Amino acid sequence: MSINYIPNDPMAGASAPPTRRKSPRANRPSSRATFQFFDAEPEGLASPGTPQFLFWQAREAALTTLTAWETANGSSFLRWQGNRKTIPFVQNAVVQLGAPPTPNAFYDRASFQFFESTAGNKTTFSGESTDVVAQEVGHGLLDAIRPQLIQAPLLEVGAFHEAFGDCVALITAFLDSKSRTAVRASIGSRNFLETTAEDLSDAIRRLQANHNAAEPRHAKNNLQWVLPTTLPANGGPGVLINEEHSFARIFSGSFYDLILKLAGSSPSVSAIRTATIKATRLLVAGAAAAPIGARFFQAIGRAMVMADDSTNNGANRESIKAAFAGHGVLLGTSAMMSPVVALAGAQPVVTAKRAGLSSSARRDLVERMGAGRGARLAVHPLDIGEERVAHATVTRDVSVGALHPSLKGVVVPVTNSVLIGASGGRAAVLGSVPNVDTTTDEVLSFVESLVKNKRIETKPPKHVPKRHRVEAMTPYTHEIIRIGRRRELRRRAFACGCCFGN
pLDDT digits (tens, 9 = 90+) for 135-148: 999 999 999 999 99
Residue 369, pLDDT score? 86
**Mean pLDDT in residue range 147-175:** 97
Structure confidence at residue 461 (pLDDT): 61
85 has pLDDT over 50: yes
Pick the range with the lowest mean pLDDT from 87-96, 387-396, 493-502: 493-502
Q: Provide DSSP, 138-189.
A: HHHHHHHH-GGGTT---HHHHHHHHHHHHHHHHHHHHTSHHHHHHHGGGTTS
Give residue 474's pLDDT. 61
Range 63-72 average pLDDT: 98
Rounded Cα gap, residues 113 and 312, in angstroms: 39
> Considering only 248-252, 253-257, 450-454, which range has the smallest mean pLDDT?
450-454
What number is the average pLDDT over the span 29-56?
Answer: 97
The residue-averaged pLDDT of 182-206 equals 96
Q: Does the pLDDT at position 208 exceed 50?
A: yes
pLDDT of residue 94: 72
Question: Residues 107-118: what's their mean pLDDT?
Answer: 93
Give the relative orientation of helices 296-312 and 244-263 as an angle to the nearest 10 degrees. 20
CA distance 71 to 348: 38
475: nearest Cα among 449, 457, 451, 452? 457
User: Mean pLDDT score of the chain, rounded to an integer?
Assistant: 92
Which pLDDT value is given to residue 140? 98
Residues in the chain: 502
* Distance between CA atoms of residues 191 and 183, nearest Å: 7
pLDDT on residue 228? 93
184 has a pLDDT exceeding 60: yes
More confident residue, 51 or 459: 51
Mean pLDDT, range 108-132, rounded to an integer: 93
Torsion 476-103-205-175 (CA) sign:
positive
E-assigned strand segments in 180-318: 195-196, 217-218
Instruction: Give the burial class of 43: count Cβ atoms within 10 A of its Cβ; 0-12 exposed, 13-18 middle, 19 or more buried.
Output: middle
Per-residue pLDDT band for 467 (boundaries 50, 70, 90) equals low
Q: How many CA atoms lie within 13 A of 419 on its CB side?
A: 24
Above pLDDT 90, what percent of the chain?
80
The predicted-structure confidence for 324-343, as pLDDT tens digits, reads as follows 999 999 998 777 788 988 99
What per-residue confidence (pLDDT) applies to 119?
86
Q: Output 323 or 499, whichever has higher pLDDT.
A: 323
In a 10 Å sphere around its CB, with 0-12 CB exposed, 13-18 middle and 19+ buried, how is residue 328 labelled? middle
Confidence of residue 435 (pLDDT cuts 50, 70, 90): confident
Instruction: Encode pLDDT of 347-388 as tens digits.
Output: 999 999 999 999 999 999 998 888 877 788 999 999 887 889
What's the confidence (pLDDT) of residue 475? 65
277-291, 372-386, 486-500: range with highest mean pLDDT: 277-291
Buried b (16+ CB within 10 A) or exposed e, 1-10: eebbbbbbbb
Q: Is the pLDDT of residue 472 over 90?
A: no
What's the whole-number mean pLDDT along residues 392-401?
93
Query: Which range has the worst mean pLDDT, 285-294, 302-311, 363-372, 402-411?
Result: 363-372
Average pLDDT over residues 83-111: 83
- CA–chain centroid gap for 407, Å, is 26
Confidence of residue 501 (pLDDT cuts 50, 70, 90): very low
Q: Is 344 helix (H, G, I), strand (E, B) or coil?
A: strand
Chain center to CA of 109: 13
For the cut 60, the answer to whether the pLDDT of residue 231 exceeds it is: yes
